[in-house]
Structure 1
Amino acid sequence: MRHSLDQVEAFVMSCKWGSFSAAARALGRSQSTISASVANLEIALGLELFDRSTRIPTLTAAGETMLVEALAVYDRCQALESHADAMSEGDPASLTIAAGIPHKNLVPVLCDFAEKFPHTDIIIRNPEKGDVANLVQRGEAALGVAFAQPRYVREIQFHQMGKLILTHVAHAEHPLAAKRTVSFDDLREHRHIVYTAHAASLPTTEYLQSTQVWSADNYDALIEMASAGLGWATLPRQLILDQIGSGQLVELQLEAYPYTDWLVSVDLLSLKGRRIGKAESWLLTRMQSHKIQELTRHGQPTTW
């Protein structure tokens, strides 16, 4: 390499501050050191970067072109140092979050995290069979966010983040869609399409039974099957607002619950007693303060 990073820094800072002396003050060096570094860079590049015929040196045409290149090098060097500093302070290279709810609910937290810890990568896992707690317990995920379960193993600690609505829908041409209210007996007569983790674990699911049950480990498959008229489905409303709005899917009004939506708590899961670093600690605290909420079918905020 014909030039040094110190020379590039001296060039960039001289342009930023408008003079060699101002750059020297900003960097805590002598003016002669900065001037010499820039001169050596010019020799290395074989270009005159500054016109020194005036009292205050100004960029030449070549200098203006090289400044673009120098800024790119300088920014990458700063990113390298920042990344190294973060790792030396104990920030992990990545953090894994197991998510069993619609991901849009986590985006505000992730945006804040990206700004606070730009060098820690986030890995989002969609657990097989929706088993978020199991991933956290095994240490494969630092945090988990999922619909609340009736019980957790004692190693898992949980914090309620809010509530989301699970709604029961059918295609507009499905027999259930034509009914003003739907009884549990009506539901039993038709195929139920359900997310595997919800089939029998959420509150009141013991009433939502059918003679036929098809299940899937991801919501996209459920939406496609429900949209094809294969059965009635239980889904997070946030995922199917477009289909409901267009009339493709119709929300079923359960006879037993004429005035309420099926509100299900959302829990933040973590492992007790595990030592965590600054980035994970910040993420845990930020998640705990993040309130998950949505509007009911009547336009009212969900309540805790």
Structure 2
Amino acid sequence: SDTLNPAVLEEIMSQFDQRFPHTEFDCLIGEEEDVIDLLQKERAQIGLTEARDSYPTDIGATRLPMQTRMAIYVSAGHPLAGQHETQADELHGWRELRLSTYLEREAPLSRGPVWSAPNYLLLLSMAVQGFGWCALPCALVDEFAASKSLVQLNVPGWPRSIAIDLVWNKRTPPGVAGSWLRQYLQDAR
């Protein structure tokens, strides 16, 4: 999931490389339902997703101690970028750039025009290009958006802290390397 701070991912990969230098590592990008599908199809051994209350019975989950911050962004040239404060209702007059996974069960109702993409990095790119406003992980913006290309809007209730769940397929638990990775994530702060 792109909700994991890129600095945390970098540290995980460095530690994994030191401990398991000859183990194949395949880092897949997916969000929400797509992560669950990758686990159920045994394409992935563990996954990260925005926390939720319940999962399918074959999926194990644990809440990670770390959280990610999400904020609403627009390109520096967007008309909303110059406002001191933006009310949530004002956003509906502008195009929303929304996460839409491949296996999304039910699209949320929209109150304005919407473009969607299956991951946050694509949404970030669309926002930088000025196509609309978008809720994005702050760490992803800090890492991948060019300096001052995006403006964080001052919207009441934002930014928000989002809990992250570590998930796995109960029928095919991870091996030694996957178990180490799972424990590392559970201990990370």
TM-score after normalising by structure 2 = 0.82
User: Is this contact kept in 1: 2:128–2:145, CA < 8 A?
Assistant: no
User: Cα RMSD between the aligned structures?
Assistant: 2.8
SS in 1 for 2:57: coil
Give me the identity figure in percent.
28
Cα gap change, 1:185/1:159 in structure 2, threshold over 3 Å: closer, same or farther? Answer: same
- Asked if 2 retains the 8 angstrom alpha-carbon contact of 1:244 and 1:250, the reply is no
CA displacement at 1:189 relative to structure 2: 0.5
Counterpart position of 2:48: 145
Following superposition, the deviation at residue 276 of structure 1 comes to 4.2
Higher helix share: 1
Q: Deviations over 1:11-32 (max 9, x none)?
A: xxxxxxxxxxxxxxxxxxxxxx
2:92 aligned partner = 188
Flag structure 1 segments of 5+ consecutive residues without an equivalent: 1-98, 292-304
Residues 100, 151 of structure 1: CA spacing in aligned structure 2 closer, same or farther, 3 A cutoff?
Answer: farther
Structure 1 residues 112 and 195, CA gap change in structure 2 (3 angstroms): same
Cα distance between partner residues in 2 of 1:245 and 1:228: 11
Cα deviation 1:135-188 (Å, max 9, x = unaligned): 112221100012223431121111222210111011223222222221221011
1:177 aligned residue (75, 81, 89): 81
Aligned length: 184
Distance, in Å, in 1 between the alignment partners of 2:172 and 2:121 is 34
The alignment's TM-score, normalised by the length of structure 1, stands at: 0.54
Give the SS at the match of 2:25.
Answer: strand
1:211-230 to 2 correspondence within 5 Å?
211-230=112-131
2:3 alignment partner in structure 1:
101
Structure 1 Cα separation of the partners of residues 143 and 42 of structure 2: 36
**Which structure's residues are more often strand, by fraction?**
2
Q: Does 1:261 align with 2:159?
A: yes
Higher relative contact order (CA 8 A, sep 6+): 2
Does residue 277 of the first structure (1) align with residue 180 of the second (2)? no
Q: Equivalent of 1:133, from 36, 44, 56?
A: 36
Find the aligned partners of 2:139 and 2:173 in 1 and give their Cα distance. 35
Q: Which residue of 2 aligns with 1:113?
A: 16
- Separation in 1 of the partners of 2:95 and 2:29? 25
Deviation at 1:245, TM superposition (A): 8.1
* Aligned match of 1:240: 141
In the alignment, the residues of structure 1 paired with residue 19 and residue 77 of structure 2 have an alpha-carbon distance, to the nearest angstrom, of 49
Q: 1 CA distance for matches of 2:3 and 2:45?
A: 16
Q: Aligned match of 2:61 in 158, 176, 179?
A: 158
AA at the equivalent of 1:174 = H
CA distance in 1, matches of 2:133, 2:181: 37
- Kindly name which structure, 1 or 2, has the bigger radius of gyration based on alpha carbons: 1
